[in-house]
Structures are given as structure tokens and as C-alpha cells.
Chains A and B, each alone.
Chain A
Amino acid sequence: MRQTSELDPELPDSRETPYAAHQRSQVTALVDRELQALPERQRAALALVHYEQVAAAEAAAILGVSIEALESLLARARRTLRTRLTSLKPDLLGSVE
């Protein structure tokens, strides 16, 4: 009989300590909040390219912008997130494996 983690890789790792799980959920909540705080078009660009892995040309077409404008939206989104997350929790960018 296979182990639970093999049946569903989305289940939390049972070896993760409660403290680590708590830390992880805090990070998730923090990043979620900062994502929601992005301007709508930047968030949409990031949702398409990062989370849905839509090709750049198609994402640009969906948003009705050029590739250059898409890259600008993405870069602003990522820079803002990096700056905000680092200022809120300086060790954060080194804390996620």
C-alpha cells in the first residue's frame, strides 16, 4: 500500500514541524496580501505569466499590450514585491527553499 504523500503530493509534508508549518502559512499570507496590493494590471500580468505559465506573447495579447509593456508590468510587479517583502521581513528572500 502506498503512503499518503505518494497518493497526493499536495498534502502537507507530515515531517514538517508545527513551527515550520506556522512560518510557512505566515509567509503565504504575507505574499498573498502583497500580491493583492499590486495594481490590477501588474497583478494580472503576474497571474498569467508566473502562475498560469502563459507564454509571453499570448499573455501580452490577452492584456492587449505589447511584449515590452508586458515585461514592464511584470518587472514592476516583481520589484515592488521584492522591495515590500524585504522591508517587511528582511530574511524572507532567503528563507524559502
Chain B
Amino acid sequence: MNNNKLMTLERLGTLLDAYGGDLRRWPEPARSTAEALIARDGAARQLFNQALALDALLDEASAPAPSHALKARLIVRARPALWRQGFGALWPFGPAWQPAAAFALIAALGISLGVTVGPADIAASASDDVDVLGLYDTFDDEDLS
């Protein structure tokens, strides 16, 4: 991804396909060039409006429930915070916002979807995270081709 290039209609279409029409969801460096293209180009505006229409439909839906694998991913990502809380002196590496954000996200997913990520879930996920990650690597199938 190169957001520093002049925004082309093709690149705008790619980003609208991925992130939709709400530019707050876009990578920040691409927003201003996208806005400029949408303002001056009718075809760009049409793509933008199509993306907004799909966004509105998605907003009508309930947020999809996180899979066990995704919850496990979030928990594994948050784990350094647990380590730092107990063993701060032994684990002084890495930015603090990442695990904090991951924990917040776990809570948000759990609350907004009516799914409780309780201690039992965390314990179960954490205990087999190596297996989960091993399986996860096998997900690199046609999705990423």
C-alpha cells in the first residue's frame, strides 16, 4: 500500500472496496487525497456513494460474533499486559497501548455481541493458543492469495 501516491480512481475503488465510504475507517494518509478526488470527479463520487450504501446496509446488521480463533488472537495479543502487570521488571518491552487496546477490544466484542469472554474462555483459549496459532497459520489459503 502506498498512500503517498496521487490517488487514482483505481486506488480509490480499491480502498472503498476494503474500508467502505466512511473515511474515518481508512488509513489516515489516504483520506485527504481521497476526499479531493471524490470532490472533483463524478465517477469517484459514484463509487463513494455505492460504498456508503453498502455501509448503511451493514449498519443494519448485528455485528458478527467473534470466532473462538479471533478471541484467542486477541487474548494472545493482550497477554504481554498480563505479564507486565505481574512481572513488569522482567518484561519492560513493547508499547503499552497495544495490549490495553486488545483488552478493550475483547471487552467491546464481548459486550456488543452479547458474548462473554469470561475467565473460563480466557483460560481455555490461553491454554491452547499454540494450537490455535498453529491452525491459524493454515488459514493462509485462497483468502490471502
Contacts and interface: CB of A to CB of B under 8 A. Distances in A.
A45 to B, nearest CB: 9
A71 B1 CA distance: 9
B64 A43 contact: yes
A94 to B, nearest CB: 7
Majority secondary structure of chain B interface residues (helix, strand, loop or mixed): helix
Interface stretch (B19-27, B39-47, B123-131): B19-27
A50 interface: yes
A49 B17 contact: no
A31 interface: yes
B61 A35 contact: yes
B143 A41 contact: yes
B77 A62 contact: yes
Contacts, number: 122
Interface in A40-56: 40-44, 46-56
Contacts of A69: 144
Majority secondary structure of chain A interface residues (helix, strand, loop or mixed): helix
Interface residues of B, number: 42
A36 B66 CA distance: 11
A52 B109 contact: yes
Contact of A49 (B25, B50, B70, B74): B25
Given A40-B69, A49-B19, A67 B144 contact: no
B67 interface: yes
Given A38-B64, A44-B70, A78-B20, 17 more contacts: A31-B57, A32-B64, A35-B64, A39-B143, A40-B69, A47-B63, A47-B66, A49-B25, A50-B55, A50-B58, A52-B108, A57-B27, A62-B74, A64-B136, A65-B144, A93-B54, A96-B60
22 contacts: A31-B57, A35-B61, A36-B64, A39-B143, A41-B139, A44-B66, A44-B69, A47-B70, A50-B58, A51-B64, A62-B73, A62-B102, A64-B73, A68-B1, A70-B18, A75-B14, A76-B143, A78-B17, A81-B57, A96-B56, A96-B59, A96-B60
